[in-house]
Chain A
Amino acid sequence: MPKTTTQMADHFSLAHFLGGLEGFTPPTGPFDPSGSWRHGYHMLMSVGKVTRQGMLIVERTPLADGTARLQVECTKRASGGTQRYVARLLCGANALSGPISWELETYLLDTEGKAIADIRLEETGRAVDGGLEVSTGGKTRRLVIPGAFTLHWSLLDAVQRLPGDDGAPLSFTLIDRLNCQAKPGHILAFAEEATIELGGRPVWDEQKQELEAGTLYRPVQRRLGAVATNLRCYEQTGTGILPTFYWVDERGELLVVSSGLIAYIHAGEGGT
């Protein structure tokens, strides 16, 4: 597939989030998608204007047997509090980073930062033959899933190791947000390579044009400080999600995920 050069505004998966990428600087330096890393992502919402909703932090630790641990922390502002997920996943050595087991805590913090006692949940889960087994508060339920399955958090890791356009689409069932609700019929496939000018801020410039009648100066918008970045895009479609786009740089680092009104934008290690 030929590589194209484009502005963010020209790609419909990114156009909604221009405002959220102002000042964005693509990461540089060595990166090993199969190694240890920690990524922070701003959670953006676009409803005409782009707002930051919270932060997602994913930290990967490879294990000797080819599996990996993923620690996921999701924090989102709420009206009158803060919502948090903390998940510790053991992911398989497969293309989807499918879950072997996990522990999940979800809780609400009040305005003073204290956890609201009766709105806290602890959950454990594991892959079993033909599906998942999930335990919450002493109750265990089983979800039958034919074929491959994975979690949306696992995919944030997995897409970084996917091949380019020579890779076959992956088919699977999605367990979204660890909610024990199977969403079948998913396909994750390479979509395109592109050089996209990421970040920067919009400025108006003039474009000079010589005409018979004289010189014409046309106003044109440019993005000051934007960085042309070579990216691979993977697209995911299936039940229960909007088409989702994963933008990965040449080193394999996941920079942007966009899905409808939501995007996750790389924010270093997520310390802010």
Chain B
Amino acid sequence: MPEHCRSTPRDARAITRREFVKAGALGLGAMAAGPGAPAVHAQRPPNLLLILCDQMNLDAMSALGQTHLRTPNLDRLAARGVTFIQSHSTNPVCSPARSSVLTGRMPVETGVIHNDLPIRPDLPNLGQWLGDRGGYETVYCGKWHLPQGYAPPGLAGFRVLPTGGGQGAGDDGFVSRSCEAYLRNRSMNSGPFLMVASFMQPHDICYWMIHPETLVPERLPLRHIADRLPELPPNHASRPPGPQRIGNGYAGFKMALQWRYYLYCYYRMVEMLDADVGRVLDALQETGQAENTVVVFTSDHGEGAGRHGNVQKWHPYDESMKVPMLWSCPGQVAEGLRDGTHLVSGLDVMSTFCDYASIGAPDGVKGRSLRPLLEGRQVTWRDHLVCEWKEQGRIVRTERYKYVMVEDDPAEQLFDMQADPWEMNNRVAEPALAGTVAEHRRLLAEWNSRMDPALAAG
């Protein structure tokens, strides 16, 4: 984990497992007496707002110390709630990760093991479940990709606000406008709502290499931004040995300056996203609904961002796997806390929403409610997390290690994430760590035995 994601910012209070245990031992009331702690529970089920973006790195926000961009709206979400640092994509590509966020199931279970597949029809999505069981008014606006690119009319479980047909720079402004309009126009006497505001940015970076040959320094608009280009990450040249499917970095950029301009543009796309998130948050705030709305902001997956010489996603490295996950709700979620300990993923959104809606989660969900963590209650949490990559690939993340494998390749990886947060030193072959590797293999086998694969289920 990059240092800026581990340090404590000026405006946030980092929280450790010990603090959570202590808070739980004292009880929520004691926690509530302190600064930033939740105070009271609302009587009515809260509104639920999922703000989903596409291809955003965990650390691409100024609240986490990133100095190459400005994200005032994500920062205010972070200041008002809990920021998870050990937050993972279930599979670092759009459709699979989104299928998990929407169902609480792993991609191998939803059947969405690569892009452009539909969710297995017998699994309810958030809209179907919270609409039917929780009486929520359910609204979806923006990117869908399961399999249609944008949410189509007639989408099961949701009223769809039409949008789309393009990419983030052309469409996200309309998504935020439509979400804003819905929030401002709805009657305050209506029942609770579930809204999914699904933005494309910063995914536009995927198309930044259409003409890499034109991105030569003498043609770039560098006169006024030369001193603002981000430096290359420390693991830019690192290519740890491992399964072949990881690939060997992107070869389209020949010069450091091209990479640095790429990063500059990526961060501008995150800023575009931030402005649209701000519009939705402003509407929530100004209509008085923020006080009773649980907001979660997350991304389907990360972005290579030059780390390990990568662009885009699909990689088992943290630049692809780690995603932002910010939760807030005044009075119900602790404020300004950074949780650097608990392993969470998009799987947990369904269970958490159901918990706040006071309904049970669908049978078979693999996620857990984050509510105890969000409220600072004592809870025994998972000690490992399994993620998928490139269909047959799997990752086991424990507190200290990350184990990477792919079914048809004997090469494996093991990284000590505490000593080597940039994942530069594959230690899988070290005899002293043979037991650790074996234990991670065992955890994976156990996890696989609990899956309900879509294909096996027919």
**A78 contacts which of B174, B204, B216 (Cβ < 8 Å)?**
B174
Q: Does A65 contact B (CB under 8 A)?
A: no
Pair A15/B214 contact, Cβ less than 8 Å? yes
Whether, in the assembled complex, A189 has its beta carbon less than 8 Å from a beta carbon of chain B, the answer is: yes
Using known A-B contacts A79-B163, A261-B170, determine if residue A183 contacts B282 with beta carbons closer than 8 Å: no
Complex contact B174–A80 (CB within 8 A): no
Chain A window 210-251, contacts with chain B (Cβ cutoff 8 Å), 1 for yes, 0 for no: 000000000000000000000000010101111101000000
Contact with A along B213-226 (1 / 0, CB 8 A): 01110011101110
* B166 interface hit (Cβ, 8 Å): yes
Partner of A79, one of B162, B176, B204, B268: B162
- Complex Cα distance, B276 from A76, in Å, reads 18
Among B70, B185, B207, B216, point to the contact of A239 (Cβ < 8 A). Answer: B70
Q: Is A36 an interface residue (CB 8 A)?
A: no
B162 contacts across to A, CB distance below 8 A: 78-83, 108, 110, 116
A47:B73 contact, CB within 8 angstroms:
no
Interface size on A, residues (CB 8 A): 58
Confirm or deny: B122 has a beta carbon within 8 angstroms of a beta carbon on chain A.
Answer: no
Asked if residues B221 and A191 are in contact (CB atoms below 8 Å), the reply is: yes
B148 proximity list for chain A (CB < 8 A)? 79
Chain B residues with Cβ below 8 Å from A12 are 211, 214-216, 219-220
What 1/0 mask marks residues of chain A from 74 to 115 whose CB sits below 8 Å from any chain B CB?
A: 001111111101000000000000000000001110110000
**A16-B211, A120-B185 are contacts. A177–B152 as well, Cβ < 8 Å?**
no
**Contact B173 A179, beta carbon cutoff 8 Å:** yes
Q: Residue-by-residue, is B266-287 near A (CB-CB < 8 Å gives 1, otherwise 0)?
A: 0011011011101100100011
Which residue of A76, A245, A261 contacts B207 across the interface (Cβ within 8 Å)? Answer: A261
The residue among B177, B186, B215, B287 with the most chain A CB atoms within 10 A of its own CB is: B177
A195 at interface (Cβ–Cβ under 8 A)?
no
A43 to B169, CA, bound (A): 11
Chain A residues 106-140 with CB under 8 Å of chain B are: 106-108, 110-111, 116-121, 136-137, 139
Candidates A77, A82, A179; contact of B279 at CB < 8 Å: A179
Contacts of B265 in A (CB 8 A): 242-243, 260
Distance in angstroms between the alpha carbons of A242 and B150 in the assembled complex: 23
Take A121-B177, A241-B268 as given contacts and tell me if A16 and B210 are in contact as well, using a CB distance cutoff of 8 Å: yes
Mark out the residues of chain A between 1 and 60 whose CB falls within 8 Å of any chain B CB in the assembled complex: 11-12, 15-16, 43, 45-48, 51, 53
The reply to whether B268 and A242 form a contact with Cβ atoms under 8 Å apart is: yes
Q: Chain B's nearest CB lies how many Å from the CB of A4?
A: 11
Chain A 164-198 per-residue mask, 1 if CB under 8 angstroms from chain B, else 0: 00000100000011011101100101010000000
B176 touches A237 (CB 8 A): no
Whether the pair B224, A237 counts as a contact (CB closer than 8 A) is: yes
How does the 8 Å CB contact mask read for B50-85 relative to A, with 1 for contact and 0 for none?
A: 000000000000000000011001000000000000
Please report the C-alpha to C-alpha distance between residue A259 and residue B282 in the assembled complex, in whole angstroms: 27
Beta-carbon contacts under 8 Å, B403-420 to A: none
- Contact residues in B for A235 (Cβ distance below 8 Å): 221, 224
Separation of A82 and B360 alpha carbons in the complex (Å): 38
| Least Cβ–Cβ distance between B255 and chain A, in angstroms | 14
Q: B167 an interface residue at 8 Å Cβ cutoff?
A: yes
Verify if B128 is at the interface (C-beta below 8 Å from A).
no
A53 and B168 alpha carbons, distance in the complex (Å): 13
Q: Is B151 an interface residue (CB 8 A)?
A: yes
Is A145 in the interface zone, CB < 8 Å from B? no
Which residue of the partner chain, among A118, A121, A176, A237, contacts B221 with CB atoms under 8 Å?
Answer: A237
Residue of A11, A116, A260 with highest tally of chain B CB at under 10 A: A260
Tell me if A256 counts as interface (CB < 8 A to partner B).
no
A121 contacts across to B, CB distance below 8 A: 177, 180-181, 184-185
Q: Is B191 interfacial (CB-CB < 8 Å)? A: no
Closest residue to B164 on the A side, CB-wise? A79
Given A47-B207, A137-B184, A237-B221: A76 and B165 interface contact (C-beta under 8 Å): yes
Question: Among A119, A139, A240, which residue has its beta carbon within 8 angstroms of that of B275?
Answer: A240
B279 touches A180 (CB 8 A): yes
Question: A120 — nearest CB in chain B belongs to which residue?
Answer: B181
Chain B residues with CB under 8 Å of A119's CB are 161, 178, 181-182, 185
Residues of chain A within 8 A of B305, CB atoms compared: none
Assembled-state Cα–Cα distance A3/B263 (Å):
31
B361 at the interface (CB under 8 A from A): no
A159 within 8 A of B: no
Q: How far is the CB of B202 from chain A (nearest CB, A)?
A: 11
Contacts of B271 in A (CB 8 A): 183, 239-241
Q: Report the Cα distance A260→B167, complex, angstroms.
A: 11
Q: Considering the chains assembled together, what is the distance between the CA atoms of A27 and B39 in angstroms?
A: 64
Asked, given contacts A16-B210, A79-B162, A80-B160, whether A261 binds B169 with beta carbons under 8 Å apart, the answer is yes
Closest CB-CB distance, A167 to chain B, in whole Å?
14
B161 touches A108 (CB 8 A): yes
A-side contacts of B286, CB under 8 Å:
136, 139, 141
* Binary flags per residue of B313-352, CB closer than 8 Å to A gives 1, else 0: 0000000000000000000000000000000000000000
Least distance between A235 CB and chain B CB atoms (Å)? 5
- Please measure, in the bound complex, the distance between the C-alpha atom of A241 and the C-alpha atom of B69, giving whole angstroms: 11
Contact status B165-A78, CB under 8 Å:
yes
Question: Is the CB of A262 closer than 8 A to any CB of chain B?
Answer: yes
- Shortest distance between the CB of B223 and any CB in chain A (Å): 7
Asked whether B435 is an interface residue with its Cβ less than 8 Å from the other chain, the reply is no
Least CB distance, B51 to chain A, in whole angstroms: 15
Q: Are A11 and B160 in contact (CB under 8 A)?
A: no
A118 to B173: give the CA distance in the assembly, Å: 17
- Cβ contact within 8 Å between A79 and B152: yes
Chain B residue nearest in CB terms to A51: B166
Q: How far is the CA of A262 from the CA of B171 in the complex (A)?
A: 11
Given pairs A79-B162, A83-B163, A179-B276, 4 additional interface contacts (CB within 8 A): A76-B174, A179-B176, A239-B268, A260-B204
Chain B residues within 8 Å of A, Cβ to Cβ: 69-70, 73, 148-153, 160-167, 169-171, 173-174, 176-178, 180-182, 184-186, 204, 207-208, 210-211, 214-216, 219-221, 223-225, 265, 268-269, 271-272, 274-276, 278-279, 282, 286-287
A-B contact pairs, 15 of them (CB 8 A): A12-B216, A12-B220, A45-B167, A47-B210, A79-B151, A83-B177, A107-B181, A136-B286, A137-B185, A179-B177, A179-B276, A239-B268, A242-B268, A261-B169, A261-B207
What are the 10 A-B residue pairs with the smallest beta carbon separation, nearest first? A81-B162, A12-B214, A80-B162, A181-B275, A240-B271, A80-B153, A118-B185, A79-B150, A78-B162, A243-B221
